[in-house]
A and B are shown apart, each in its own frame.
Chain A
Amino acid sequence: MSTLTYSPQAHAVALPLREVLPWAIFGGLLLMLAIYFIGAEQGAASLFKGMYVHEFVHDGRHLLGFPCH
């Protein structure tokens, strides 16, 4: 005699890579660009002239742990 036990467990099923990769690449690049602007623009490197971005996010840059000055 065999008994069947109800198992409420569920298995995690991965999302197909083909579906994830385009998002990961394009989204990833854009989001990293945003982090670059907060962390390093007009400090270590400059895409735009001037110091306005650096000065505006100055406190955040220090407190988020990026090198500054």
Chain B
Amino acid sequence: MVGKLLTRGMLVGLLAGLLSFGFLKIVGEPQVDRAIAFETAMDEAKAQAKAAEAKAKGVALPKEEAEPELVSREVQASFGLLTGVMVYSTAFGGLFALVFALAYGRMGDFGPRATSALLAAAGLVAVYIVPSLKYPANPPSVGLADTIAIRTSLYFVMILISLAAMIAAGMLRLRLNPRFGAWNAALIAAASYIAVMAGVSLALPGVNEVPEAFPADLLWQFRIASLGAQMIMWAILGLAFGAWTERAAIAENGLRLKPAAL
């Protein structure tokens, strides 16, 4: 059963990947191109300033070797993007199916469709939206090479804490259910998640490496494109996986949907 769910999750992830790739290709790539054009212009201006300074001092400019281009822009923007998004999305589809297998029947009396939709909504918030409120997605030319290690660590730590807090909130909801009722228990659990994540966000160091002259609208468009792709991916995961699993559960009774006792 779990193997079947895992395969299903990865197939749904493939579909989600195709759609979010299409979205990123149309909406995201123009922003990446603009950001790279900005980066090139900055680099050229810097090189010219250096050359002018060297000329004024009368010293020869030390020759800088151009970085070899390992992968062309065309490949980065097509097969590279496709590979990245597909692997990411398929992997998340698989992980989503595994979480579904663990959570189904343990988070209250929800059918496969509702379980799947609720988990995907929680996943989008915990894995992407909340971590990116603190450490948002950045286009090329935003971010210093020297700080990549610390930035990546902070981002992953933020995701892990956010996921843990979301799971804890889910368990808290179940605990509070009998005493406060479903609605209030859910509200208290959501408020606890928000409180914990607000505290964590305040405690972790901020990162701001946006170059001074970087266009604000480009930053906004880029981040909206990134958010859009995530929303597409999680929506497809939650809705398609749920619909497929509900149909299969009814057909095979594999998820043992016991009829309610009369």
- Among residues of A, the one whose C-beta sits closest to the C-beta of B97 is A27
Residue in A9, A20, A40 with the greatest tally of chain B CB atoms within 10 Å: A20
Shortest Cβ distance from residue B235 to the other chain A in the assembled complex, whole angstroms = 16
Q: Kindly list chain B residues whose C-beta atoms are within 8 Å of the C-beta of A45.
A: 149, 152
Q: Which of B47-55, B133-141, B172-180, B189-197 lies at the interface with chain A?
A: B133-141
Known A-B contacts A12-B104, A24-B98, A67-B138; the reply to A58 vs B76 at CB < 8 A is: yes
The interface size bin for chain A is 35 or more
The contact of A23 among B85, B90, B98, by CB within 8 Å, is B98
The contact of A27 among B83, B98, B110, B131, by CB within 8 Å, is B98
Shortest Cβ distance from residue B73 to the other chain A in the assembled complex, whole angstroms = 9
The contact of B76 among A12, A24, A59, A64, by CB within 8 Å, is A59
Shortest Cβ distance from residue B19 to the other chain A in the assembled complex, whole angstroms = 14
Interface string of A47-59 (1 = CB under 8 A from B): 0001110011111
Cα A9 to Cα B226 in complex, Å, equals 40
At the interface, yes or no: B258 with Cβ under 8 Å from chain A?
yes
Interface string of A1-38 (1 = CB under 8 A from B): 00011110111111101011001100110011011011
Known A-B contacts A12-B255, A14-B104, A65-B128; the reply to A55 vs B152 at CB < 8 A is: no
Are A27 and B143 neighbours in the complex by a CB distance under 8 Å?
no
At the interface, yes or no: B58 with Cβ under 8 Å from chain A?
no
Are B145 and A55 neighbours in the complex by a CB distance under 8 Å?
no
B binding-site residues for A, Cβ under 8 Å: 1-3, 6, 24, 28-29, 32, 70-71, 75-77, 79-81, 83-85, 87-88, 90-92, 94-95, 98, 101-102, 104-106, 109-112, 115, 128, 131-132, 135-141, 143-145, 148-149, 151-153, 155-156, 222, 225-226, 229-230, 255-260, 262
A binding-site residues for B, Cβ under 8 Å: 4-7, 9-15, 17, 19-20, 23-24, 27-28, 31-32, 34-35, 37-40, 43-45, 50-52, 55-69
What are 28 A-to-B residue pairs whose CB atoms are below 8 Å? A7-B259, A7-B262, A10-B259, A12-B112, A14-B104, A15-B101, A15-B255, A19-B2, A28-B98, A35-B92, A38-B84, A38-B87, A39-B152, A51-B70, A52-B71, A55-B71, A56-B71, A59-B24, A62-B139, A62-B222, A63-B85, A63-B229, A64-B88, A64-B226, A65-B131, A65-B137, A66-B137, A68-B148
Known: A24-B101, A28-B95, A62-B226. 20 other contacts (CB 8 A): A11-B109, A11-B259, A12-B109, A12-B255, A12-B257, A19-B2, A20-B101, A27-B6, A28-B98, A31-B92, A35-B88, A37-B87, A52-B70, A55-B70, A56-B83, A58-B80, A59-B28, A59-B29, A60-B88, A65-B226
